[in-house]
Amino acid sequence: MFLPISKEELIERNIEQLDFILISGDAYVDHPSFGIAIISRLLESHGYSVGIVAQPNMRNDLDFLELGTPRLGFLVSSGNIDSMVNHYTVSKRHRSKDMYSPGGRMGLRPDYATVKYSQRLRKLFANTPIIIGGIEASLRRMAHYDYWKDTVSKSILIDSKADILVYGMSELSIVEVADYLHSGLDVRDIVFIKGTVFKTKNPDYIPSDGIILPTYDEILENKETYAKSFLVKHRNTDHISAKPLIETYRNHTIVQNPPNRPLTKDEMDNVYSLPFERNYHPIYNKLGHIPAIDEVKFSIIANRGCFGECSFCALTYHQGRIIQSRSKESIIEEGIKITKDKDFKGYIHDVGGPTANFYDVACDKQIKHGVCLNKACLSEDACPLLKVTHKNYLDVLRGLRELPGIKKVFVRSGVRYDYVMYDKNPEFFSELVEHHVSGQLKVAPEHVSDAVLDKMNKPKRKLYDSFVKKYYELNEKHGKNQFLVPYLMSSHPGSTLNEAIELAEYIRDLKYYPEQVQDFYPTPGTLSTCMYHTGLDPRTMEKVYVPITKEEKAMQRALIQYRNPKNYHLVSKALRRAHRSDLIGYEKHCLIRPRS
């Protein structure tokens, strides 16, 4: 049974007052791939009643009033994706489709949805606690660079007028918050829970062991100060080593408590065993299909966290570097549930997480001492302490393959190819190619210039070249004709036109025709966004070249798709500006031919 979404459903279930009302920017989908489904079902399992208000109409207060006043508080999330990323391309143009809305319609949630929803709730329910969370709130929990406004914005707690922010995956934190509210503690006094951020004017609530960051005014005025402050935030994402962070504003102090601990395997299993309907609410049968369900309905989340630490990815800031995974038994049980779905055709679309083949903790040291603050598990080379093994993940895949009713088990969430290459046991790579590729395998070299890869915190090009060679050798061995789809990124900090041309030449030699190109998107919470805003690498404080102008970004993007006739003039201009007219001609190595 779905959770109640209307006054009529409350009456049917004899609920006079809900404990929590969850406001979401997404349509209501009760599937474990959706954060609001996990949080609401988890609270329900702890005895709390929860109602869902999905995509309330901002032009009318009735949607916010529909379920009444909750006994304990409102929970607010923009949904599975940041509302600004959901609405705008990197060139700040409106997108045409919202995958998390009925019929894919745009405009059913506002820009900065978490802030807008919370502000409206504060106006309507002045004394009711408001707790914000989800990816949008998590990445904006402290002062941050806002790409869409091109300025440094305050902590979202201030603009939203919410009381508490829960960051990260937040299962442990939200249950603690709920329990303390239920005990009668005032929301303004809940200042001690790990994985939360609060605002205060009370000096007694400022932790004595906290790290005092530069003030908001200081980072607003000075980019070097911003970069230094960002690095402190970036390095305080581990539950063992992190300290409270204290950021002062003119009228408030924002305090970020250290992250909550990772879930144990049993706790992860429990979360994914909750009674999800695994589909969108029946109301959308009339309003329109929710496109986001298509890829995840028959997919299985096996892990969380990522020790890859790509500079442009916010996962480290949101989920942390320590891998959390489910047991094989739990995953197999979900596989059995999937086979019983009337729409299941025999294909599990994905088994993975942020990085599919990160199933085990990176090293034993992390369990007792936390992650290294000044050393990456993977970058140019693997750390000597890194446990490189696919044994347990491969065991899971084999178990799913053996289930009755399953024809194929695919891995589509992407594999970290360097981790595959570091594994001295060839079994996983071989079985991946033989059994788990759906015609094409997605990998993310992102670039081929070592200068850019260094800023991305990715391995050097030669390792990717070795992976490609081995991949096609295994395809030949298994009699397969499967392709690689490399994700490539243009205009990342550190990429001049010369590096962009180097990437174009690589594409030429590979005879690859990329249909889509990802221009670097400066989202909150990433090292690369800090580089974009400051022109500095916060790890070294060295200057970084940043392509910022629309023209240069367009040229770098066009170079990746130099074969497209529409890009001819941009490619020509880029080559001439970089003094590479040798690539304009009729010879084999040339990118484009001359035009009169």
pLDDT tens sequence across 330-340 = 999 999 999 99
For the residues 162-175, what does the mean pLDDT come to?
97
pLDDT tens sequence across 44-62 = 999 999 999 999 999 999 9
Q: What is the pLDDT of residue 373?
A: 83
In DSSP terms, 20 is beta-bridged to 50, 73
Given a cut of 80, is residue 168 above it in pLDDT? yes
pLDDT tens sequence across 68-87 = 999 999 999 999 999 999 99
pLDDT tens sequence across 207-260 = 999 999 999 999 999 999 999 999 999 999 999 999 999 999 998 999 999 999
Q: What is the pLDDT of residue 516?
A: 76
> Are the C-beta atoms of residues 121 and 131 closer than 8 Å to each other?
no
Domains of the chain, residue spans: 7-196, 485-596
Cα atoms in the 13 Å half-sphere on the side-chain side of 313: 19
Give the DSSP H or E segment for 245: strand 245-248
For the residues 563-591, what does the mean pLDDT come to?
96
In this structure, which amino acid lies at residue 18? L
- For the domain 7-196, what is the CATH code? 3.40.50.2300
Given a cut of 90, is residue 374 above it in pLDDT? no
DSSP class of residue 310?
A: -
Q: Determine the straight-line distance between the first and last CA of the chain, rounded to whole angstroms.
A: 68
Q: What is the mean pLDDT of the chain?
A: 95
Q: What is the pLDDT of residue 169?
A: 93
Give the DSSP H or E segment for 94: none
Q: What is the pLDDT of residue 223?
A: 98
With bands split at pLDDT 50, 70 and 90, how would you rate the model's confidence at 14? Answer: very high
Given a cut of 90, is residue 376 above it in pLDDT? no
For the residues 522-543, what does the mean pLDDT come to?
97
For the residues 139-162, what does the mean pLDDT come to?
97
Q: What is the pLDDT of residue 379?
A: 73
With bands split at pLDDT 50, 70 and 90, how would you rate the model's confidence at 515? Answer: confident
Q: What is the pLDDT of residue 378?
A: 87
Q: What is the pLDDT of residue 452?
A: 96
Q: What is the pLDDT of residue 93?
A: 94
* b (16+ CB within 10 A) / e for 477-504: eeeeebebbbebbbbbbbbbbebbbbbb
Given a cut of 80, is residue 590 above it in pLDDT? yes
Indicate left, alpha or beta for 26 from its phi (over 0: left) and psi (-120 to 50: alpha). beta
For the residues 432-445, what does the mean pLDDT come to?
92
- pTM of this prediction? 0.94
For the residues 334-360, what does the mean pLDDT come to?
95
Among residues of the chain, what percentage have pLDDT more than 70?
Answer: 100
Residues whose CB falls within 8 Å of the CB of residue 524, separated by 6 or more in sequence, listed in order? 82, 139, 140, 144, 145, 146, 147, 314
Given a cut of 80, is residue 380 above it in pLDDT? no
For the residues 356-369, what does the mean pLDDT come to?
92
Q: What is the pLDDT of residue 333?
A: 97
